Amino acid sequence: MAAGALSEPSVPQLPGLDRFEGRAFHSARWDHTFDMSGERVAVIGTGASAVQFVPEVQKRAARLYLFQRTPAWVMPRPDGAIPPWRRRMYGRIPGVQRAVRLLIYLYREIWIVVFRHPAMMARVQRMALRHLRRSIEDPILRSKLTPAYLMGCKRVLLSNDYYPALTQPNVEVVTEPIVEVCARSIVTADGAERPVDAIVFGTGFRVTDPPLAARIHGRDGRTLKETWAGSPKAHVGTAVAGFPNLFILLGPNTGLGHNSVVYMTEGQIDHLIAALGHMRAHRIDAIEPTADAQRSFVSGVDRRMRGTVWVSGGCSSWYLDRTGRNSTLWPDSSWSYHRRAARFVAAEYIRAPGVAAAVDVA
């Protein structure tokens, strides 16, 4: 099961959206046939996707309305060009490039300490405030873009051109809630009506309720969605009790807020390969984690999650499922997860009846 956590778009059910006569699409399903040049475009959402495409939309649209529910913390992106001399050095001395990559990884890995200690994050937050002050001179706009929660509670965004784009004369940041979408306009709670030709949703993804979970059936016939009951759980974030031979890449509690999830996925693949090796060696057709092993792993994750900025930062984020539990992120270093996932412990698994988890492909 490798559908990815950020794959199924989440689109809000706005009153009147079905009557809108212009173009409307989610950023993950971009309508490349639509030319935004000279158009009035409404962007709904201000998350990680929006900070990437808003500056580009601003350059093309005649008018851009950015509808913001909650502002995000934005940090400068260290994204300078690699000079020719360094590229030559990398080509001649490959070990130097590997060392630089290791330093980048270690730098990112250190951030887990900050995320786990809100008092430290409060001090780091000053860097983001400086970035905001330097980028936005208008005090009214700056106030709109200043979050009221601790940095890190929601995903921290990296951008050098998002703030400058919002200062352009063809952009308006709207913080009033949307109450209705009309045929060619959007109405907000203050009664204002703004004419728009297109709506782009930057409203994230269905992370904690993936549609695919409703199509995976376990040993007892129940779906993964029914078993999870709104709060995804898996042993080592990879296998689920009652679902023989089901392995998930980037499963529950394997996302990261500080480093690359590629390393997490590699640990899960190692776990899967080791499981297959065990099955082959012992001539086993189907295995699944024990309920006790899964419960112990999940409780350990929840214990380490307590006190982190993700659950105590004063916000409601897409990291949290409908029960209020953070079932999205790994609350420790990526190195510690990789080490744990790569180790297959046979005692944590049971030999299941020879019927693997089934996928409804209808």
Bridge partners of residue 326, in order along the sequence: 320
Q: pLDDT tens digits for 15-46? A: 999 999 999 999 999 999 999 999 999 999 99
Whole-angstrom distance, CA of residue 320 vs CA of residue 328: 7
**Residue 78: predicted pLDDT:** 86
Whole-angstrom distance, CA of residue 289 vs CA of residue 234: 9
Q: Which of 204, 231, 223, 210 is nearest to 327 (CA)?
A: 231
Proportion of the chain above pLDDT 90, given as a percent: 94
Proportion of the chain above pLDDT 70, given as a percent: 97
Show the tokens assigned to 44: 């709904």
Show the tokens assigned to 113: 């300490």
Whole-angstrom distance, CA of residue 29 vs CA of residue 355: 36
For residue 353, pLDDT beyond 90: no
Whole-angstrom distance, CA of residue 302 vs CA of residue 252: 12
Whole-angstrom distance, CA of residue 270 vs CA of residue 267: 5
**Residue 357: predicted pLDDT:** 54
Burial class, 166, CB count within 10 angstroms (exposed 0-12 / middle 13-18 / buried 19+): buried
Q: Is 3 left (phi over 0), alpha (psi -120 to 50) or beta?
A: alpha
Q: pLDDT tens digits for 58-117? A: 999 999 999 999 999 999 998 889 999 999 999 999 899 999 999 999 999 999 999 999
**Residue 214: predicted pLDDT:** 95
For residue 361, pLDDT beyond 60: no
**Residue 79: predicted pLDDT:** 84
Burial class, 261, CB count within 10 angstroms (exposed 0-12 / middle 13-18 / buried 19+): middle
Q: Which of 227, 275, 231 is nearest to 253 (CA)?
A: 231
| Beta carbons within 10 angstroms of residue 213's beta carbon | 20
Burial 266-285 (b: 16+ CB within 10 A, else e): bbbbbbbebbeeebeeeebe
Q: Which of 206, 216, 199, 208 is nearest to 233 (CA)?
A: 208
What number is the average pLDDT over the span 105-130? 94
Q: pLDDT tens digits for 241-277? A: 999 999 999 999 999 999 999 999 999 999 999 999 9
For residue 351, pLDDT beyond 60: yes
Local confidence band at 358 (pLDDT 50, 70, 90 cut-offs): low
Q: pLDDT tens digits for 286-320? A: 999 999 999 999 999 999 999 999 999 999 999 99
